Structure 1
Amino acid sequence: MIRYSEQHIDEDDIFEVKEALMSDCLTQGARLELFEESITKICKAKAAVAVTSASCALYLTYLAVGINEQTLVWTTANTFTSTASMAKILGAEIDFVDIEIDSYNICPEALRNKLTTSDQSPDFLVVVHFAGRSAKMKELALICQRYDITIIEDASHALGAQYGSSMIGACKYSIATIFSFHPVKTITTGEGGCITTKDRALGKKLKLLRNHNIQNNSKVPWYKTQEKIGINGRMTELQAALGISQLRKLKVFHEKRLRLVKIYADILNEDQYVLPQFDTPDNISSWHLFIIRIRERSEIKRNLLIQNLQEQGIGANLHYYPLYRLNLYTKNKSAFPNNELYFKTALTIPLNIKISFQDHDLISQKINALFRT
């Protein structure tokens, strides 16, 4: 099976992990600090806090900014469950905003309309940069500024992406940005995540929270203080070593993804399906996912296409099943017409840097052939 995405591990990665494994320090060491410094430089952020997963990063961020039972959080339903569930676990009320039908990101106009018709505006808007392409942050920020809404960015898909003159992760429009280093993402640490912020005080707070929020007594360091509850969210030195090695190849990984995108763009038949938005000078995607949509609004036909591709060894998938359709949230789907259209027509096809350009060419031809049958 050609997976839609997977990790690329080479001898340099293995060497770095072995070196970490043979070192005296397996956790909370110099490699973690170097990895965080490297992320900070790439994103042009003020601080970075590496943790065990993006879900952990979301949870700690929500905890640090004070999300609780009195908080209302809005986000997109076209995302992995953690974007919403990590706020819900803290007691927050969750609601969703419809997406744009071309970018599949949260729609500024839908946000504006929802705010004018809602009794209460949210305390936080969690903006997801879906598939690696930035949402329209400038427009969203102007709306949120008017209603005093704090933005958090879920950039689990978007390490290396750029919006305007800023790297995603610089937090130009937000209080914090979350990244994922799961094996299917642009780089991997096995499992892992990170928070970047322009607020050094928030970065310091997050580092405490990932270590149970325990501090050493200033006078007697083997005595401890703990004013609030934190968790063990620490990334190991082995993970950080892999992350450092992977970051050195981030540009190479991105360049190969761009070449694979071009193959799809050149071969796939646009008469039968809608291709994703391509890069512009003001919005450069990390190309985590390659999404196409069939032009016929037919959930059955889309599902058959995914099934047929999987039977031919091509790991097509759906990203994502809308969160408002889950029993945990159960919102009226008619409130999200664009998300519903997307859900019924979209599929993810492999954008996997481990496989050859010839294989991606073959995938394109097989997809075209399925539409001719």
Structure 2
Amino acid sequence: MIPYGKQNITDKDIATVVDVLKSDFITQGPRVQQFEQAIADYCQAQHVVAANSATSALHIACQALNLQQGDWLWTSPISFVASANCGRYCGAQVDFVDIDATTVNICPQKLANKLDIAEREGKLPKVLVVVHMAGLSCDMQAISKLAKRYKFAIIEDASHAIGGQYQGKPVGNCQYSDISIFSFHPVKIITTAEGGVAVTNNTELARKMRLYASHGVTRDQENFQNGIYEPWYYEQQYLGQNYRMTELQGALGISQLDRIDDIIEQRNLLATRYQKALSGLPLCWQQPQSDSLSAYHLFIIRLDDNAKLNRSELFHALRAQNIGVNVHYIPIHTQPDYQRLGFKPGDFPAAEYYYQGALSLPLYPELTNEAFEHIVTTLRALLCDSTSE
């Protein structure tokens, strides 16, 4: 089966991890700090806090922004559930903003309209989690203007987007946001097996996130509150969690980051090949904006309404040919757990319409020409003359 995504582990990656296993520290040592600095340098940002997953990074970001019961967090309905769950972990209420059909990202105009209504109702969000779907940045400048007007914080869920660019700058530089989150799950752009980071230019937010990621405990005497300065002393200043990244993960991340630009180049080349090879078929795909470079974590097609094969039929036909297509994502508000909160089908029609025809094709730098041609030939055979008469 050709997977829709996969990690690439080199001999150098393996040697780097083995070196850590032979060292004095396999957790809470120098490699994680080096990885954090490497990410900060790459993204042109001030601070990076590593965590054991992007979900954990989203959680500590919300905690650092003091999201709590009585507050609202808004996000996109087209994302993995973690983008919304992070608000609920803090006791906040969650709502969604419908997407733009061409970018599959939060629509700034729909956001503006929803904010206008929420202001009148006294239900403005404290935090907006924007999702850079498939590696394509949202329109951050437009969203940032709304954040300043309505006074909410912005978290970029850039789990798909490390290596991408917006307005000629790296995604994650936090020019238009408070915190950006990256994921290093094996199917992402680079991997640390599991893992994530929170990026920010705000020193106080970074300090709080670092505490929340490690039990809320500090050994930094400059910040002690009880006036005790013994070498064995530590303070728990917040109710935190154990979300720490290991040295093994940090070392792997450093090694992977060394080749990220080549990875992004290969993903963009494959996406361009798909666009050319699938031209003329009854389908469309996400449209990058002129001021953005997508990281292309995913290449998602969407079937036209007049295609004889529906998404389910095409999914099973491709899987039968050992092509491991997938679907990203089921709208969060249609999940049973969210329906129990009062959401229902029909609440966010653009997201639901997108979902009905969306299919993610295999995309990763090691995708062979043979596999690529098999995917394209199979799609053309299934769809070429499959429009309604």
2:346 alignment partner, SS class: helix
Map 1:320-339 to 2 at 5 A.
320-330=329-339, 331-339=343-351
Letter in structure 1 aligned against 2:252: L
Letter in structure 2 aligned against 1:215: T
Aligned residue number for residue 75 of structure 1: 75
2:74 alignment partner, SS class: strand
Aligned residue number for residue 311 of structure 1: 320
Is the 1:268–1:365 contact (alpha carbons within 8 Å) kept by the matching residues of 2?
no
Is the 2:136–2:288 contact (alpha carbons within 8 Å) kept by the matching residues of 1?
no
Distance 2:308 2:128 in 1: 30
Letter in structure 2 aligned against 1:247: L
Regions of 4+ moved over 4 Å:
297-300
1:174-199 CA distance string (max 9 Å, x none): 11000000000000000000000011
2:153 maps to 1:144: no
2:214 maps to 1:204: no
Distance 1:306 1:223 in 2: 58
2:260 maps to 1:250: yes
1:171-225 CA distance string (max 9 Å, x none): 1111100000000000000000000001122112211221111123731021221
Letter in structure 2 aligned against 1:128: V
Distance 1:116 1:241 in 2: 46
Aligned residue number for residue 178 of structure 2: 175
1:38 alignment partner, SS class: helix
Aligned residue number for residue 100 of structure 1: 100
Identity %: 40
Distance 2:39 2:251 in 1: 13
TM-score when normalising by structure 1: 0.96
Distance 2:68 2:307 in 1: 40
Is the 1:166–1:172 contact (alpha carbons within 8 Å) kept by the matching residues of 2?
no
Letter in structure 2 aligned against 1:341: Y
Q: How many residues align?
A: 372
2:181 alignment partner, SS class: strand
Distance 1:204 1:46 in 2: 12
Aligned residue number for residue 356 of structure 1: 368
Indicate how the Cα distance of structure 1 residues 340 and 297 shifts in structure 2: closer, same or farther if over 3 A, else same.
Answer: farther
Aligned residue number for residue 266 of structure 1: 276
2:244 maps to 1:241: no
Distance 1:31 1:113 in 2: 46
Is the 2:137–2:165 contact (alpha carbons within 8 Å) kept by the matching residues of 1?
yes
Distance 1:163 1:297 in 2: 34
Aligned residue number for residue 27 of structure 1: 27
Unaligned runs of 5+ in 2: 222-228
Map 1:89-238 to 2 at 5 A.
89-118=89-118, 119=121, 120-216=123-219, 218=221, 219-238=229-248
Indicate how the Cα distance of structure 1 residues 178 and 217 shifts in structure 2: closer, same or farther if over 3 A, else same.
Answer: closer
Indicate how the Cα distance of structure 1 residues 297 and 325 shifts in structure 2: closer, same or farther if over 3 A, else same.
Answer: farther
Is the 2:282–2:307 contact (alpha carbons within 8 Å) kept by the matching residues of 1?
no
